[in-house]
Structures are given as structure tokens and as C-alpha cells.
Amino acid sequence: MNKPHSFPYGKTTQTASLPETCIQAVIESDLSSYRPPLGPEETVKYALANPHDTTEISVIAKGCKTVTVITSDHTRPMPSQITMPLLLQEIRKGNPDAQITILIATGCHRKTTQKELTERFGETIVKQEHIVVHNCDEGPFCQIGTSPSGNHIELNQIACEADLLIAEGFIEPHFFAGFSGGRKSILPGICNAATVNENHSYKAISSPYAATGVLEHNPIHEDMVYAARAVNVQFILNVALNGEKKVIAAFAGDLEKAHEKGVE
């Protein structure tokens, strides 16, 4: 007997009927059944008010003339309509006159369209905020050093010149970086093509430590952390999502400490 099963497909789902004899198991993450104690917005607010290993972003932002907030592009289900307004609110609470740039971390992906920006942030932010979409081929770039693996790191000059650099993202298992989120907003997010290609090269991916769920001794992860530290990311906001792409947890604060909490 054939039984219909639903599969994620783009932003929707597809249904296929398969014989029962062809299905050995249907495996779902515990994230699908987890029910957080707070709603999405309250979860993010709590994280921002209780950062890991650093002070609140409103305090850090004081005296910073230029602030750059790095965020995911259209290929990632980042819930920026929730997170970005709260981040901007906290920055301006500490520094109402801050010149804020939202930098879209496309890595080597195509440019995010205006429609996709509106879908991601909503019309208000797109109309009122200064948004720049990273282009890995055009620059300008700045060289910030050589990573542990020997990769010459070049990244978007806007990030290099910011008085305060913040990154938002989400955490999930990644097949060679161990986990997404945290440092990944920088490398590959806002690096030039040569830097990204070296980080994603066969030489790097062939390491036995470049695997899903593995961070320790992972050369790709280590290079990503190097790049993020070298450009001085001072604060991150990362979320965890369930199968419906809804926020079920949030982690804010230090680049590595907050990311580690999210990975746990």
C-alpha cells in the first residue's frame, strides 16, 4: 500500500506516495517537537539582555560612530524580521546617532534582490536603513592576515572600517564547517572569491575533522574563527530554528562563547 509523505522543497513542501516496503524509517530531529518557554521575539530579547561573556550591545555601541551589522542572504532562512529590529533598537538605545550599515553576507552567491530584501526584513527596514549587498568579485576588500591553514584573508572593506562589527545568523549542523552561525558570517560571508574558494577547497574539506558536528581540530572552522577575530567581531546574535523555521532558542554575546552555547 502506498502512503503519502511530505518532503521539504524550497519554501514549500512536495508530497510523494511511496510503498510501505520502501520506507525503513522516518527520522525527525527533536527540534521539531521542542516547545520553547518563550515566544520568538521574547526569546531573542532575553538573549540580548543576557549575553555570553560580554556586556549588552547597547553598552558596547556607546561612542561607536559607524556600526556594521552582518546578516545572512536570501539562501538562508534567517528570521531577520524578528532579530534585526531588536538589534537596531539595542544599538540605538546606547548610541542614537550611530551610522548603521546592514551588510548582506552573500559569500559567493548571487546578489540578493530588492524583493528578497523586503521579504527578509520587511518594507520599513529596507526603506529606512542603509543596506549593502556584499559582492565577492567587486570589493573593495582589505587584507587582514593569513589564517592557520595559510589562507590570505581578504574581506569587505565596510566591515574592516566599522567602529563596531556585529553579526547575526542561525546555527545548524554543516557538512564540513561543523556548524553554521557565529564566525561563518565573516568567512565565507563577506570575503572575496579567492578567500572563499581556498576555505572551501578540496584540501580543506578532505580533512577528517571537516565534518558535520565537528569543531575541534576542524581546519575550516579554525580559519573562520581566525577571520572573525582578526576583523574584530565584537558581538553576535544567533538563533536556532525548528522544522518550520521558527525561532526556538537564541544566543548572544561573544563570537565564540555565544556560538558554543548555541552549538551545545
Do residues 255 and 236 lie in contact, with contact meaning Cβ atoms separated by under 8 Å?
yes
Backbone angles phi, psi at 192, to 5 degrees: -80, 170
**What is the DSSP code (8-state) at residue 52?**
B
Long-range interactions of 108-117: CB distance < 8 A, separation 24+: 108/136, 108/188, 108/193, 108/196, 108/197, 109/73, 109/74, 109/75, 111/135, 112/73, 112/74, 113/74, 116/74
User: How far is it, in rounded angstroms, from Cα 242 to Cα 249?
Assistant: 9
**Which residue, chain included where needed, has cell 519554501?**
11
Catalytic status, residue 259: no
Catalytic residue among 52, 74, 174, 259: 174
Do residues 79 and 43 lie in contact, with contact meaning Cβ atoms separated by under 8 Å?
no
Catalytic status, residue 174: yes
Residues belonging to the active site: 109, 174
